[in-house]
Each structure stands twice: as C-alpha cells, then as structure tokens.
C-alpha cells in the first residue's frame, strides 16, 4: 500500500502530503494562485459589455419610433409652419429635440448612478425586465384585441399640459421650445420608457464610465426619427 500522511492536500493533479511539503507547495505556487479581482457589481459589468453598440442603437431607434413623440412634434411644427419662417421652424424643432434628448439622457445617467451607488442592481434588473415584458404584452394585446386603450400612452393630464404648451407655440422662442421638449419627455415616459428601462437594467450596477457612451448612443438614435421629421 501507499503510506499516507496527515494532512494531505489535493490540488488539481497534485497530491501533497505533510505540513512541511504543503507549505513548500504553497510558497512555490502562490504567484499562480492569486485570485483575480472580484467584480463587486456581480454580473452587471458583463451585462454591460454584452450590450453591443449596434444592439443599443437599434433599441434606441425602435423606442424612438413611437406615436407619442411624433404627435407632439407634428402639432408643434404644424403650428409653427403657419406662424413662422422655415428657419424658425428648424430652430424651434431642433430646440424641442434637444430638450427631449437632454431629459432622457439625464434620466439615464441619474438612474444608472443611483442604482450603482445603492447596490440595488439585481433587484432593478428584475424590475426592469418585468416592466418591459408587461408593456410588450400590453402593446401586443392592444393590436390583437383592437383596444387602443391597452397600449401605453401619455396620461390625460399629460395631454392637457402638452395642449396648453402648444397653444403658446407660435410665440415660443428657443428656450421655450427647449423647455417644451423637456416637459414632453417627462410626460411621455409612460409611453416610451419600457425599452429604455430594459437597457438601463442591463447597464445598472456596472462601471458608470462604461455606461455613459452607450447611453449617449441610445439617445442619439432615440431622437433620430424626430430629426428626420424636422428635416
């Protein structure tokens, strides 16, 4: 038989017997046994890196093709076309788009930073997934059942506010148009926020510096349909 010693260390293909021999083994192999730095954010960084720029841009474009933002911009431009020059229409339209872009980007930055600081990334990712799935089912149901009331939309109070803002559109300046974009961005979140929430769920908890360019890319493509309409 094989004479054994206590203690015995089994390390992969190595069998080391005896206290002295085990100490020698660790001293010789310690540089190769150092664990890699732990990712304190769990799988969030892996999730963020898995989001290819093309996927983020596509999600932003799909989110941007929605009737909520289109309707407000169409009404705004229609009003301005009657009351202003082509140059004025372009300037007001650009300011409106800038407002939408700024508020959505700020919301993305804020949510990502807060979730990362509080360590609630796993719970937020689960919540974001549930909300995105529920909204997707509601949209499909509204089409299949032909019930438009089931689809996400701007609330009645939000529509009243937007209508009031649009009444002042003919005399609006650049700052007012920018503020209109910010306001519309806030009230239309129930209509357009599900896809954005899903992307934020994937980015939450990872390195904020890694999330910044992806959030900027998402929002550029989110407002791209609005840019095309103004053009």
pLDDT, tens digit, 9 for 90 and up, residues 46-90: 444 455 788 889 988 988 887 666 666 677 666 666 656 778 778
pLDDT, tens digit, 9 for 90 and up, residues 191-222: 777 788 888 888 876 778 888 999 999 999 99
Q: What is the reported pTM? A: 0.67
Before 7, cis peptide (omega within 30)? yes
How far is CA 31 from each of CA 16, 17, 28, 36, 86, rounded to the nearest angstrom? 18, 21, 8, 12, 70
How far is CA 28 from each of CA 16, 25, 31, 121, rounded to the nearest angstrom? 13, 5, 8, 40
């Amino acid at each position: 038989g094989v004479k054994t010693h206590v203690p015995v260390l089994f390390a992969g293909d190595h069998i080391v017997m005896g206290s002295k021999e085990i100490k020698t083994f660790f001293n010789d192999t310690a540089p190769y046994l150092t664990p890699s730095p732990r990712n304190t954010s769990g799988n969030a960084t892996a999730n963020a890196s898995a989001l290819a720029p093309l996927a983020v841009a596509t999600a932003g474009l799909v989110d941007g093709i929605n009737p909520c933002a289109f309707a407000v911009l169409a009404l705004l431009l229609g009003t301005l076309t009657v009351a202003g020059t082509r140059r004025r229409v372009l300037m007001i339209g650009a300011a409106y788009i800038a407002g939408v872009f700024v508020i959505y980007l700020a919301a993305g930055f804020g949510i990502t930073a807060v979730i990362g600081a509080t360590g609630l990334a796993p719970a937020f990712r689960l919540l974001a997934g549930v909300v995105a799935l529920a909204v997707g089912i509601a949209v499909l149901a509204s089409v299949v059942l032909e019930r438009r009331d089931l689809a996400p939309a701007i609330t009645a109070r939000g529509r009243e506010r937007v209508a009031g803002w649009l009444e002042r559109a003919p005399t609006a300046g650049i700052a007012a148009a920018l503020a209109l974009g910010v306001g519309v961005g806030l009230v239309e979140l129930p209509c357009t926020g599900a896809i954005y929430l899903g992307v934020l769920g994937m980015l939450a908890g990872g390195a904020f510096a890694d999330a910044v360019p992806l959030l900027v890319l998402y929002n550029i493509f989110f407002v791209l349909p609005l840019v095309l309409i103004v053009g």
